Structure 1
Amino acid sequence: MKATWEKIEKNLGVLEVEVEADRVAAALDKAFNKVAKKANVPGFRKGKVPRPIFEARYGVEALYQDAIDILLPEVYTEAVDQTDIFPVDRPEVEIDQFAKGEVFKFKAKVTVKPEVTLGDYKGVEVPVQKVEVSDEELDAELKRLQERHAELSVIDEGAAENGDIAVIDFDGSVDGVPFEGGQAERYSLELGSGTFIPGFEEQVVGMATGDFKDVEVTFPETYHAEELAGKKAVFKVKVHEIKRKQLPELDDEFAKDVSEFETLAEYKEDLKKELLARKEQEAKGNKEAAVVDKVAANAEVEIPQAMIDSEIQNMMRDFDNRLRNQGMNLEMFLSFSGQTTADLQEQMKDDAEKRVRNNLVLEQIAKEENIEVTEEDINKELEVMAESYKRTADEIRNILTANGSLGSLREEISLRKTVDLLVENSKEVEAAEETAETAETAEEK
């Protein structure tokens, strides 16, 4: 096979490929074996028609498309490897020649990973990360723990308040006609959570157990279901019961119940250390992000839209997975928030572009600095994953190898080592110094 690559624009080029006639013949054989199983030829059972009879009746051309579908993915991958390019989108393929006994020729217009021109990436200045835990933060954490260990008690008398859990039936309609997803029985709704259509939860506040009420709301103009967007709806609501959180007292007994300590004072001291460690880790992450952002801003790279679109899809999948872990899914989230998939993707666009830019710049720095990922690095990471998933390192390796993710793990480790190098070579400055440096840079530009 012969393959050549010619760049026609910054991130776009043409891959020209010629494939030997014997591989074309082999692909035609496979295509015939596939097609013959379904071919209806008088006098022959399906799958038993001889090749010459088939070609005489239908023509060898009847096999061409199936043969191309069999051969093209295989030879395209080989051509990509041979020319050492990195496609980031589906190619636009143009078949120049395909016939029995002849060379297979095709062109593929391919968008490839862009080239990165690095700027200064050592010695960048970032603000000092100050880490401390205030009394207010400690009190807020204790309040959060109170909420987590609160008990839900059914309220027999009195009206529902924000923060209560109202167990309700609801039946929604627009112009008297029920709509899909507008009905539920014994649904547990936390009032004030903002999960339902704006205005719904506020009208349930004040209802008591056994109450019936027509809740009138208007769907947002941007609601994901176009047939409901901007429409007024009426929900017939019945309250079955109201549950209210009973917060435990913040005392020594509370400390004994939720920790290994005997007194609240001891528990608060340990909690402060835990918060400090958490904030130190957060500060470390913030510093890494600040360094990478500055280094990426110093670089020049033109990002293909296909890479941004692909990253948005990855972010959408991650978001959906997080929602599922919380007992929800993307469809439910869109329904409750009144957003569309397009709205969500638009919100993610800037962050997706930033992620792609940062990764491209880090990959280029890794090449410049000859950063290598050793087997020892991989083994250490596998051990960490094994402990997390309660499996052996060999099992994790086999799983990653089977689904083709071992290469991704190697890339992730390489990026992490690159970030470590950049942070080690960065400089922390006070906010005033940072402002002065930024102003000086702006004047130079």
Structure 2
Amino acid sequence: MTASWEKTEKNLGVLEVEVAADRVEAALDKAFQKVVKKANVPGFRKGKVPRSIFEARFGVESLYNDAIDILLPEAYSEAVEEAGIFPVDRPEIDIEQFGKGQTLKFKAKVTVKPEVTLGEYKGVEVPVSEISVTDEEIASELERLQSRHAELIVVDEEAAANGDTVSIDFDGYVGDEAFEGGKAENYSLELGSGSFIPGFEEQVVGMSTGDSKDVTVTFPDEYHAAELAGKEAVFKVKLHEIKRKQLPELDDEFAKDVSEFETLDEYKEDLKKEVADRKKREGDAARENAVVEAVAAAAEVEVPESMVNGEVENMMRDFDNRLRQQGMNLEMYTSFSGQTAEDLREQMKTDAEKRVLNNLVLEAIAKEENISASEEDVEKELQTMADMYKRSLDEIRGILGANGSLDSLNDEITMRKTIEFLLANSKEVAAPAEESAE
């Protein structure tokens, strides 16, 4: 097999490939073995038709598509390796020659990983904020804990307010027509949560137990259900019950209930340490982001759109997985939020482009500085995962090997070590007052 690579644009090129005739014949043999099992030829059982008779009846050309499907992927992979390129998208294949007794000739238009011209990446200034924890922050943490441990108490004599959870019936109409999904009974809704169509929850605020009311809203122009988008709807709402959060007292008993400490003062001291640790982690992450963005901004690279689109799809899968962990999925989310999947993809595009750019630059720095994941690094990471999931080291290695994630783990470790290298070679400077002030 011969392969030649010629760049036609910055990240595009053409791979010309010729595969020997004996491999074409071998692919035709495999194609024949596949299709002969289903061939109906009088006088022969399925799978027992000689190839010469098969070709005389159906023509050798009937094997070409299957043979190409067998030969092309392996030939393309070999050609990519021979040319030393790194494709980042599906190629556009143009088959120029294929037939019995002939070589296979094809051209592949390929988008490849872009070249990165690095700027200055050592001595980058990284802002660092001094860690301090204020009394106001501790008070805010305690308020959050109070809210989490609050009881929902039925309110009979007062009107519904933001923060209350109401039980309602609703029946929605556009004009005189009821629409699908617009009706529910004893639906539990937290007012102010923003989980309903804009304007709905605000109109329920002020209703009392037993009240009925027509709530008029307008569906967003980009609403997922096209037949409702931009239309005015009226919901007939009946309020059955109002529940309001009753916060527990902030005292020693509260501290005993929510922690291992006997007094509120002891618990406050522990909270202070927790907040300080969290701020340190956030500060470390901020420094990592700052140094990566700085070196990425200093580099020159043209990010292919296909890589951005691929990263968007990765982000969409991650988002869907997070939703499923919360008992939802992407379809339910778009239904509640009024956004389409395409809206979400468009919103993710800027972050996706930044991620791709950062990764390309980090890869280039790792190559320049000979940074890589050692066997010891990988074993340590695998052991951490084994401890976390309470599985044996061999089990974890087998699982990652089976789903092809070991290479990703190597890449992840290499990226982490590269960021550590950049931080070790950066200059820490005091963050501006508005950033460090708490």
Normalising by the smaller structure, the TM-score range is: over 0.9
- Equivalent in the alignment of 1:277: 277
Alignment of 1:108-257 (within 5 A): 108-257=108-257
What's the offset of the Cα at 1:46? Answer: 4.1
- 2:128–2:283 CA contact under 8 A, matched in 1: no
**Which residue number corresponds to residue 388 of structure 1?**
388
- In structure 2, the CA distance between the partners of 1:390 and 1:179, relative to structure 1 (3 Å rule), is farther
Per-residue CA deviation, residues 51-104 of structure 1 (Å, 9 max, x unaligned), is 222211221101111111122112211221222211101100000111112211
Partner of 1:3: 3
Is 1:422 aligned with 2:403? Answer: no
Give the Cα–Cα distance (whole angstroms) in 1 for the partners of residues 95 and 329 of structure 2.
43
Structure 1 residues 138 and 64: CA distance shift in structure 2, 3 A: same
Residue range with higher mean Cα deviation, 35-44 or 268-277? 35-44
**Partners of 2:421 and 2:26 in 1: CA distance:** 51
- Once the two structures are superposed, the pairs formed by residues 428-439 of structure 1 within 5 Å of their partners are 428-431=428-431
What's the counterpart of residue 338 of structure 1?
Answer: 338
Partner of 1:298: 298
Q: Quote the RMSD (CA, aligned, Å).
A: 1.9
Specify whether residues 134 and 211 from structure 1 end up closer, same or farther in structure 2 by C-alpha distance, changes over 3 A only: same
Counterpart of 2:100 in structure 1 is 100
Q: Which residue of 1 aligns with 2:38?
A: 38
Matches within 5 A, 1:289-328: 289-328=289-328
Deviation at 1:235, TM superposition (A): 2.4
TM-score normalised to structure 2 length? 0.94
What residue is the counterpart of 1:50 in the other structure?
A: 50
- Cα distance change, pair 65–412 in 1 and its aligned pair in 2 (3 A): same
C-alpha distance in structure 2 between counterparts of 1:33 and 1:334, whole Å = 48
The number of aligned residues is 433
- Secondary structure at the residue paired with 2:207? coil
Query: Aligned pair 1:77/2:64, yes or no?
Result: no
Greater mean alpha carbon deviation, residues 424-433 or residues 354-363: 424-433
Change (3 A) 1:79 1:178: farther
CA distance in 1, matches of 2:242, 2:35: 65
Alpha-carbon spacing, 1:240–1:62, altered in 2? closer, same or farther (3 Å): farther
Distance 1:47 1:223 in 2: 55
Letter in 2 for 1:222: E
Structure-2 separation of matches of 1:53 and 1:188: 72
Counterparts in 2 of 1:324 and 1:176: CA distance versus 1, 3 Å = farther
Tell me the CA shift for residue 319 of structure 1: 1.6
Cross-structure match for 1:442: none
Deviations 1:144-171 (A, max 9, x none): 1111111223334543221122233333
CA–CA distance in structure 2, aligned partners of residues 175 and 292 of structure 1? 55
Equivalent position amino acid for 1:295 in 2: V
Amino acid at match of 2:71: L
Letter in 1 for 2:111: T
CA 1:243–1:41 in structure 2 vs 1: closer, same or farther (change >3 Å)? farther
User: Which residue number in structure 1 is paired with residue 397 of structure 2?
Assistant: 397
Q: Quick one: structure 1 residues 247 and 97, their matched pair in 2 at CA, closer, same or farther if it must change by over 3 Å? A: same
Query: What letter matches 1:292 in structure 2?
Result: V
Amino acid at match of 1:114: P
One-letter code aligned to 1:246: Q
Equivalents in 1 of 2:135, 2:405: separation in Å? 45
In structure 2, the gaps of 5 or more residues are: 434-438
**Superposition TM-score, scaled by structure 1 size:** 0.92
CA distance in 2, matches of 1:248, 1:411: 48
Aligned to 2:436: none
Structure 1 residue identity aligned to 2:365: I
Q: What is residue 439 of structure 1 aligned with on the other side?
A: none
Partner SS state of residue 309, structure 1: helix
Q: Is the 8 A contact 1:126 1:290 kept in 2?
A: yes
Structure 1 contact 172–179 (Cα < 8 Å) conserved:
yes
User: Identity percentage over the alignment?
Assistant: 73
Residues 274 and 431 (structure 1 numbering): CA distance in 2 closer, same or farther, change over 3 Å? closer
